[in-house]
Amino acid sequence: MPVVPATDETIARAAEALAAGRLVAIPTETVYGLGADARNASAVAGVFAMKDRPEFNPLIVHVPDLATAETLAAFNAEARALANAFWPGPLTIVAPKRRKCGIADLVTAGLDTIAVRVPGHPVARALLQASGLPIAAPSANRSGRISPTDASHVAAELGDVPDLILDGGPCARGLESTVVSVTDDSPVLLRLGAVPRSEIESVLGHPIHLAKEDAPIASPGQLARHYAPQTPLRLNADSAEAGEALLAFGPDAPDCAGASINLSPSGNLAEAAMRFFAALRHLDETGSRRIAVMPIPEDGLGEAINDRLRRAAKAR
């Protein structure tokens, strides 16, 4: 397996691999990404091929700072306010793409907008510095499956395909970045994620609405069935039935004869978000006939966790 601890030496090797058009799996504070040089169309095509990803689904470009982001995208005052408030960190901003920005058209799936993010994870930041490249990186899972929050998940999912899997430990946030589209119309929430909606609203000073699922350009990557384990899910369960595993939350978890994980016995949503994908992955591997999931409160990060749960539970 190409998993290596992230050190100055392995980060330098990863930077060389990116510059040579090869793929590298990278830790971020949200989930692990499968990175390619965003200017290299054939490297980016390799990302799509590895993920079995529909090509109309555009990728996020990771950059070291706001100044670099503004060479790729035209930010208005609201975009800049959001960047200043949340970068480095788990917010992705979709804005009009600058012509001649040098990013491969495949990255943006031919759209005239581009998604950019300045990640907060020290290893991702070090790799951006060492390579000097804009890095296109989707979550390092096959399309539709559970996002990886640990280097071992990437190895299990994508095997030997990336040149290197930089191990930067478990992801501290555990949910993908929140995606906000900021053009000259009012900002729209394209994907719920690691920055709660209320924090974005307090920076903007007004409410922000979630894009409608059937708006194809607005949120092309939001497949109805997504983040999905092989095992069926039963949501809003108050107990586990025979043969079911239990994904619990909070202090009042019921007994379960089978496998069971409590996302946060104290009822802390940030802890639950951090552990969520790894817990789903683990329970999926227990051979249970179904996973019963206790209700998660819909406030703060609970909104994004429930979004992932609903997509994971969609019938095949």
- Which one, 15 or 253, has the nearer CB to ligand TXA? 15
* DSSP 3-state of 261: strand
Token reading at 123: 């290893």
Per CB under 6 A, contacts with ligand TXA among 227-246 are: none
Count of residues engaged in binding Mg ion, rule: CB under 5 A: 1
Token reading at 11: 């980060």
28 binds Mg ion (CB under 5 A): no
Binding span for Mg ion by CB under 5 A among 86-94, 108-116, 134-142, 304-312 = 134-142
HSE, side-chain direction, 13 A CA sphere, residue 98: 14
Phi, psi at 148, each rounded to 5°: -85, 130
Identified binder of ligand TXA from the candidate list 43, 82, 115, 188, rule CB under 6 A: 115
Site string for ligand TXA, 122-161 (x = CB under 6 A): ---------------xxx----------------------
Site string for ligand TXA, 186-225 (x = CB under 6 A): ----xx---------------------------xxxx---
Q: Are 131 and 137 in contact (CB under 8 A)?
A: no
Strand order through the sheet with 3-5:
3-5, 164-167, 24-26, 33-37, 135-136, 60-62, 113-117, 91-96, 178-181, 188-191, 209-210
139 binds Mg ion (CB under 5 A): yes
Peptide bond into 58 cis (omega under 30): no
- Contacting residues toward ligand TXA, per CB under 6 A: 28, 30-31, 33, 57-60, 90, 92, 94, 108, 111, 113-115, 117, 137-139, 176-177, 179, 190-191, 219-222
